Amino acid sequence: MIVTGKGGVGKTTVAVALGLRAASEGKRTIVCEVAAQENASRMFAHTEVGFHEVEMEENLWSISIDPDESMREYVLLQLKVRAMRDMLFRSRIFNYLAAATPGLKELVTIGKIWELAQLDRKVKSGRKYDLVIVDAPATGHGVGFLQTPRTFASIARVGPIHSQAQTLDRFITDHEHTGTAIVALPEEMPVNESVSLERDLREEVGVAVDRVYLNGLYPERFKKEEAEKLSALAENENGAARAAARAALSEHGRARSQRQQLSRLKKGVSAPVKTLPFLFEPELDVEAARKLAGKLG
């Protein structure tokens, strides 16, 4: 399951919530972060997990995929001999070529995600998982990230890179086994980007978009008549009563505006839309993610 969306919409929180929900249902689940990020481990108040499969709680693991470590692992799997691998990585020419090849880091990152999803793991002592959840790059980078295998397959027309890139592309676009969840906020720009992102993922990449999560939705606390009474209080009262009424009206207006964005999102996307509540917490930790896990349905 690939979780993506505009930056700052809560992708990591939703990815962890999905992982917690799957783990609670008995699925052996791993949450993968890319580009050596460590947001998930911080939510669990855990030390950095790095390029290791670390158990966060029962049935739930986490890994931070470092592209350089993925490259080393890939080369070792290809050469089989560690001494040859070490010699290759000491070569300046190899390092220059690897750094200068556009998309290579993305390709080996997707290759590692693919490896984690195999029942017959290539890595010795690798665990078998029922579900791999990927906290993918944000909108613009996310589409390019997922297109990388197809790009490499078209450039390298023959040889092992071509066949391996094709395997990764088939893996990403296999609607039976791989899906995408888009995370949005109830605001104009994130909604616009989510509508565009769904279209690009379906048409440009060819992945399945299974769900759109509208994150951070304010509760509707007041009916129209109650809002009118609050408006009268805000105009006629003084002191604390007036301040409280104005604060309540402000939240009421925001909740109404958010539901307009929810309506726009539902009209603009084909996938089902699920709402997740705004959590009035000073910091979103694993317990906050657990609350969202209960709302995922």
DSSP string, 71-125: HHHHHHHHH--HHHHHHHHT-HHHHHHHHHSTTHHHHHHHHHHHHHT-SS-SSTT
Quick check: is 53 in a domain? Answer: yes
Quick check: is 229 in a domain? Answer: no
Quick check: is 121 in a domain? Answer: yes
Quick check: is 18 in a domain? Answer: yes
pLDDT digits over 62-87, tens only?
Answer: 999 988 888 888 877 777 666 766 77
Q: Does the model's pTM come out above 0.85?
A: yes
Task: Say what the pLDDT of residue 48 is.
Answer: 83
Helix (H) or strand (E) holding 49, with range, is none
Quick check: is 21 in a domain? Answer: yes
**Domain of 131: which CATH number?**
3.40.50.300
Task: Say what the pLDDT of residue 73 is.
Answer: 83
Quick check: is 297 in a domain? Answer: no
- Total of domains in the chain: 1
Quick check: is 244 in a domain? Answer: no
pLDDT digits over 255-282, tens only?
Answer: 999 999 999 999 999 999 999 999 988 8
Task: Say what the pLDDT of residue 166 is.
Answer: 94
Residue 97 has pLDDT above 70, yes or no: no
Quick check: is 238 in a domain? Answer: no
- If one compares 287 and 97, the residue with the highest pLDDT of the two is 287
Mean of per-residue pLDDT scores for the chain: 89
Q: Which two tokens stand for residue 4?
A: 């993506």
Mean pLDDT over residues 175-194, rounded? 96
For residue 213, the enclosing domain spans 2-220+271-290
What band does 89 get if pLDDT is binned at 50, 70 and 90? low
